[in-house]
Amino acid sequence: MTSFRCPFCGTVIGKLPPTYTSLFLPHEKIRRDPIGNCIPAGDVIHFEFFTCPVCQEMSVTATRQWGDHPFIANIYPRAAFMHVPDYVPEAIRTDYQEACTILQDSPRAAATLCRRCLQGMIRDAWGISGGSLNDEITQLKSMIPPLQWSVLDALRKLGNIGAHMEKDVNLIIDIDRDTAAKLIAAVERLIKDWYIDRHETNELYNSILSASADAEAKRHP
């Protein structure tokens, strides 16, 4: 890896001073790796420190060099997440980043946060609100592709597992990490489709209209 993408603002950082430093620690100087596992003899931990020149935030990763199979862990921030532009509402950005951060510790909580993201995006991007999330998704049915609609409904149902207690309080239905990670990926896709792509399309079209207006003004002063 010759570059690093800042998880806070999306800037690509090269592995060059002064924004980058690294440190190697052999096993003799440390008993456990950053996630608490004992380090066998011969292991080396490679810490990398990145300071973003744009947002000034620091990121730290640790790579355990174990033969041909290095293991990379995010030390700070704990989770890598997609850069979400400021024109996406702050509440949605915060819930998405929290879902990424909590994924390893509580996939069920991450699924619930994905459900919150979905409801927030439907209300903001589509102007649909009132009633339950089920009602809001139903109103959206004629506006989006059938497969996407089915995925939104599935996301709602999976998110409900963490958001609502079962009628039988002794019944425990869990969400595994792989499923929760897929829900996070679905939220990322919706952010791209409903916000980023729309924003970039509007910017492109507006620039074309502006160029056309300027050309017409020159032709007919």
Res 74 pLDDT > 90: no
196 Cβ partners below 8 Å, 6+ apart? 85
Domain co-membership, 49 together with 111: no
Peptide bond into 77 cis (omega under 30): yes
Confirm whether 83 is domain-assigned.
Answer: no
Asked if residue 84 is part of any domain, the answer here is: no
Expressed as residue numbers, the domain containing 19 is: 3-76
Q: Are residues 120 and 205 in the same domain?
A: yes
Give the pairing of strands 12-14 and 3-5: antiparallel
Residues 70, 114 within the same domain: no
Q: Give DSSP secondary structure letters for 189-211.
A: HHHIIIIIHHHHHHHHHHHHHHH
**Phi-psi region at 36: left, alpha or beta (left = phi > 0; alpha = psi -120 to 50):** left
Domain of 203, CATH number, reads 1.20.120
The region of weakest confidence among 14-28, 92-106, 161-175 is 161-175
> Rounded to two decimals, what is the model's pTM?
0.70
Same domain, yes or no: 106 and 205: yes
Is the domain of 49 the same as that of 112?
no
Inside any domain, residue 220? no
Q: Is the pLDDT of residue 171 over 50?
A: no
Across 56-148, the runs of DSSP E, i.e. the strands, are: 58-65, 71-76
Domain membership flag for residue 49? yes
Region 52-66 average pLDDT: 83
Asked if 156 and 178 sit in the same domain, the reply is yes
| Assigned domain for 13 exists | yes
Residue range 146-165: average pLDDT? 88
Share of the chain above pLDDT 90, in %: 47
Does residue 85 lie within any of the structural domains? no
- Shared domain for 99 and 159, answered yes or no, is yes
Helices (H), 27-106: 90-102
User: How is residue 194 written in tokens?
Assistant: 């409903």
Question: Do 57 and 102 sit in the same domain of this protein?
Answer: no
Are residues 72 and 95 located together in one domain of the fold? no
Domain match, 71 and 136 both = no
* Mean pLDDT taken over the chain: 84
The total number of structural domains in the chain stands at 2
Judgement on whether residues 30 and 56 belong to the same structural domain of the protein: yes
Inside any domain, residue 219: no
The residue out of 23, 44, 76 marking a domain boundary is 76
Verify that 14 and 41 share a domain, yes or no: yes
CA-to-CA distance for 125 and 108, rounded, in angstroms?
25
The residues, ordered by sequence, that sit 6+ positions from 100 with a Cβ below 8 Å of its Cβ are 79, 80, 81, 110, 184
